[in-house]
């Protein structure tokens, strides 16, 4: 059994004394990490699916790196629309815009950068090269259970919802994944709420943010202030089964300045 914790949409501020939508983003992340460290079963991997640092500043990535290092747990960083890939890579130590591949037992993790041709409003896409690499790897690894992860949601949060900030070429990705039943799930962030939908035979999952939760698709002003930080736990069995659940943590009462 292998265990992954997905952490997403951390939105660490350049100055940790400044709030992100009324909350202390650093404290929320630390609360999640403390909770993870108290788990009876230690995770093998922390998977961070983007919007790690709200303004993409070097100091925020450094703080993130230090907080993660203290857990002693391996971690993978994916970029979101708020991240600065160059600055992020300089702290992470690896390129952020290349397809990353990682094995976990007999499982494969394929990690994509969804910030190709950003629209400037929060949307993103996968490059043609990335889609071709993904197709090639899925053909090569057709007998291995696989997870695919990226920041932007490739499918709308709700059926029939016109989601203008999702992955622009999500339909291409969904069509490709339809051909590859070894993909047990696609993990994304970006939406600050829980998504669990099966589209064309593949399961699309998001995790709640470690920062703040949105109430509805892209109504950012509609927060769910009663909800604390959240995360997704995943268990991968050697037989290729995936078990997953969401965990919300208690709301912190610490107040920070909003500017
Ligand atoms: Fe976000």
Q: What does the DSSP assignment read for 232-258?
A: EEEEE-TTS-EEEEEEE-PPP----B-
Distance 156 CA to ligand 1 centre (A): 16
Mean pLDDT of the chain: 93
Arithmetic mean of pLDDT, 127-145: 95
Q: Is the pLDDT of residue 121 over 90?
A: no
Distance 236 CA to ligand 1 centre (A): 26
Q: What is the tens place of the pLDDT at every residue in 159-193? A: 767 778 899 999 999 999 999 999 999 999 999 99
Distance 127 CA to ligand 1 centre (A): 21
| Residues surrounding ion ligand 1 at CB below 5 Å | 9, 51
Q: What is the pTM of this model?
A: 0.95
Distance CA(251)–CA(226), nearest Å, equals 7
Distance 78 CA to ligand 1 centre (A): 12
Using alpha carbons, list the distances in angstroms from residue 231 to 10, 154, 159, 189, 205.
11, 19, 23, 10, 12
Distance CA(163)–CA(157), nearest Å, equals 7
Distance 141 CA to ligand 1 centre (A): 31
Q: Is the pLDDT of residue 69 over 70?
A: yes
Domain at 2-248, CATH from 3.50.50.60, 3.90.180.10, 1.10.10.60, 3.60.21.10: 3.60.21.10
Give the start-to-end residue ranges of the domains of the chain: 2-248
Q: Is the pLDDT of residue 259 over 60?
A: no
Distance 123 CA to ligand 1 centre (A): 11
Q: What is the tens place of the pLDDT at every residue in 202-245? A: 999 999 999 999 886 655 557 777 889 999 999 999 999 999 99
């Amino acid at each position: 059994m292998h265990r992954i914790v997905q952490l997403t949409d951390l939105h660490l501020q350049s100055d940790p004394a400044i709030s992100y939508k009324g909350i202390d983003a650093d404290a929320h992340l630390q609360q999640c990490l403390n909770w993870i460290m108290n788990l009876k079963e230690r995770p093998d991997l922390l998977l961070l699916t983007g919007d790690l640092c709200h303004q993409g500043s070097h100091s925020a990535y450094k703080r993130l790196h230090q907080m993660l290092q203290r857990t002693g747990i391996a971690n993978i960083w994916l970029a979101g629309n708020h991240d600065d890939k160059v600055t992020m890579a300089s702290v992470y130590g690896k390129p952020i815009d290349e397809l990353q591949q990682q094995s976990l037992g007999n499982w494969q993790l394929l990690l994509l950068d969804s910030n190709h041709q950003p629209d400037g409003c929060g949307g993103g896409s996968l490059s043609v090269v990335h889609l071709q690499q993904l197709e090639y790897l899925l053909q090569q690894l057709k007998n291995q259970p696989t997870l695919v992860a990226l920041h932007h949601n490739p499918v709308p949060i709700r059926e029939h919802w016109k989601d203008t900030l999702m992955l622009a070429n999500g339909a291409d990705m969904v069509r490709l994944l339809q051909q590859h039943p070894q993909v047990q799930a696609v993990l994304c962030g970006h939406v600050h709420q829980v998504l669990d939908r099966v589209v064309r035979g593949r399961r699309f999952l998001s995790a709640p943010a470690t920062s703040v939760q949105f109430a509805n698709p892209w109504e950012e002003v509609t927060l769910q202030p009663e909800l604390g930080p959240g995360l997704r736990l995943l268990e991968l069995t050697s037989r290729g089964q995936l078990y997953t659940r969401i965990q919300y943590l208690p709301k912190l009462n610490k107040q920070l300045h909003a500017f």
